[in-house]
Structure 1
Amino acid sequence: APARSARSKYSSWRPRRNPAAKCAARCVLPPEVLEPSGMSWRDDDPIGFAYILCLGVTVGLQLACFAVAAALQFDKITDLAGSLNFVVLAVLTLLLAEDIGARQIVVSCLVAVSRTELAAFLLYRVLQRGKDARFDTVRERPLVFLIFWVWQMLWVFVVSSSVIFINSAGHLASPTLSAADYVGWALFGLGFAVQVVADVQKYLFRADQANRRRVCDRGLWRFSRHPNFCGEVLLWIGVYVAGAPVFRAAPAGWWTVASPLFTLAVLTLFTGIPQAEGQNAVRWYDGGEAQAQYEVYFERTPPLWLLPPQLYRLLPRRAKLLLCCELPLYAYRPSSEPVGGRSASSGLGEPLSAPDTEGTDHS
């Protein structure tokens, strides 16, 4: 008989059940959800089960944290809740996996370590500041405040989609590691390193009061106006690439490209760069030295991807738009009013009267 292809071989393979999976499921689900026959719903569709479970956990966790934050008007847990939600989903889906291999373990550990570091950094920063200035106008308006938490649910769930699929469908793929695994891990490591280094460089720069009215153009910030955003996008691209062997065995997984694409869209179109630049750059336009420095920095430095200033200056406008995400909405137009809001991250310093634009909040 002809040999079966690798795909058909592993598509029909059902390894011995991970003994922790049943225990983990019973810890997070009520008994009536688990069928008497031994969790047949999970057995019949482990991928769908994982996504529904993760959605429920995400909604429940974020609503619980919202209730605490709204009742106490306490905003020190907002970013902590978002970052640690990623850890919960990665660990939970790993424990529920039908078979745990190196691929699932490494990806889950990478996500858990990076989000734990982010949670610790954001918690330390908000404790140093005493509050999160983003919520000054909504802290006493629960329904408006809830919008942030709903957005955070969407952010966590969509961006986690790749790691959820890798863990829940990993048993369908060959356990042998491939080049895609190593490339994905390398991209993740690069992105994580860029993000952490950028955060530390920015924090140290801003800690010096002499730099209050200066653009942060040191270290990685010399090559990107938002290098920590660059790192964030790279690490989720890395997770997606590392999942390629699983996606080949279960093609529905290719749709989890929504994870890096959603991250890129959020940071370039919504709560990221637009809320640090565009009309929010009004704080720099005082007609003095700060304005001159900002304008030079803006023209020579790409908004997202790391590029030498000398090279970026030479690129035609269309290349900057298509290859470097230099969107027209990032430019300041003096005739318009500021749009308000706050950047998830910025190397562009402290505003004069608007909410602060530092940080690495990607929600």
Structure 2
Amino acid sequence: MNDIPWGDLALNLLAVIAATIVFIGAIMATAIKIKNQSIIDIFWGPGFVVAAVVSYLVSARGDGNDTRRLVVLVLTAVWGLRLGAYIGKRNIGHGEDRRYTSMMRQRKDQALIPFLIRRIYGMQGGLIILISLPVQFAMYQSEAIGIIGSIGIAIWLIGFLFEAVGDWQLARFKADPANAGKVMDRGLWAWTRHPNYFGDACVWVGLFLLALGAPWGLVAIVSPIVMTKLLTSFSGKAVLERGMRRSKGEAYEAYVASTSGFFPLPPRRNKTVTPS
């Protein structure tokens, strides 16, 4: 435990905190100007890219393995930029998401900026800083990627494919007018109700394994735990499925009965998904 680069890690964390505050602050200022708080969703993924770039630059004079550092930077950037581009293409031009509109109605006479920081931007920024810990830690590990790191890359790739392919399949499904009112139950969506969320969780498990070049990297396990909890219990799966049950009714209940809720499993037989 004596080889932990406490000073370097602390400096890196401070740099990531500062960069995240500036990044999130710029998004908040823009959202206030255009009166659309939901643009924060577009910049969720790119926020991690900011943390990765800052960590890569700050760690340049450290003892971190250059291959590990570059791999972690590239993997984080590919994931974050793809996610931001996908959500941007999906959301731009459709106005403010009703979740944020409902949240803004609760402000009443509260001061705007403190309200936004407390309800939206402070939490988003804090999560970026916390969840990006594997990215930060990996930049200061001198060991070669090795077997554990290679497994991490493989899990990242599986996750990225699940997320990207799942999003692509869903976008194509929604773009077809013939599917109006139907439940998406094809492709990866026949194996899990949330291939994109499952993929997201795998991405961060993979990045965590890349932070295990040294035993102290175990501290970063908080990252995939928090991300998976968010995806399954808070802003992800739980919220989405409540809305789907309201909008799709029996069709979605049939889908739930026949399809795994998170981890991909073969579709169960006698699936009878019909238009709502």
Shorter chain as normaliser: what TM range? 0.7 to 0.9
**Alpha-carbon separation, structure 2, partners of 1:92 and 1:73:** 29
Distance 1:68 1:109, change over 3 A: same
Residue 44 of structure 1: how far off its partner (Å): 7.2
Higher helix proportion, which one? 2
- SS where residue 190 of structure 1 aligns? helix
Find the aligned partners of 2:202 and 2:49 in 1 and give their Cα distance: 18
Alignment coverage as a number of residue pairs: 263
Shift of 1:280: 5.8
Provide the C-alpha distance between the structure 2 equivalents of 1:48 and 1:84, rounded to a whole number of angstroms.
Answer: 22
Whole-angstrom CA distance in 2 between matches of 1:281 and 1:226: 15
1:109-188 to 2 correspondences below 5 Å: 109-139=74-104, 141=107, 142=112, 143-146=114-117, 147-167=119-139, 169-170=140-141, 173-174=142-143, 176-188=144-156
Q: CA deviation at 1:89?
A: 1.0
Q: Is the contact made by 1:61 and 1:85 (CA closer than 8 Å) also made in structure 2?
A: yes
CA distance in structure 1 between the partners assigned to 2:187 and 2:12 by the alignment: 41
TM-score, with structure 2 as normaliser = 0.86
Shift of 1:209: 2.4
Q: Note if contact 1:227-1:306 (Cα within 8 Å) is conserved in structure 2.
A: yes
Shift of 1:80: 3.0
Q: Match for residue 223 of structure 1?
A: 191
Q: Which residue of 1 aligns with 2:224?
A: 260
* Partner Cα separation in structure 2 for residue 187 and residue 79 of structure 1: 25
Q: 2:257 aligned with 1:295, yes or no?
A: no
- 1:304 maps to 262
Amino-acid identity (%): 27
Larger radius of gyration: 1
Matching residue of 1:318: none
Deviation at 1:310, TM superposition (A): 3.0
CA contact (8 A) 2:69 2:138 kept: yes
Paired residue for 2:67, among 99, 102, 105? 102
> How far off its partner does 1:279 sit?
6.9
Query: 2:204, 2:224 within 8 Å by CA — same for their partners in 1?
Result: yes
1:327 maps to none
- Provide the rounded CA distance (Å) in 1 between the counterparts of 2:125 and 2:132: 11
* 2:245–2:253 Cα contact (<8 Å) kept: no
Q: Which runs of 5+ in 2 are unaligned?
A: none
Matching of residues 222-241 of structure 1 within 5 Å: 222-241=190-209
TM-aligned CA deviation for residue 150 of structure 1: 1.6
Residue correspondence of structure 1 range 238-253 to structure 2 within 5 A: 238-245=206-213, 247-248=214-215, 251=216, 253=217
Structure 2 CA distance, aligned partners of 1:70 and 1:83? Answer: 20
Partner Cα distance (1:240, 1:265) in 2: 15
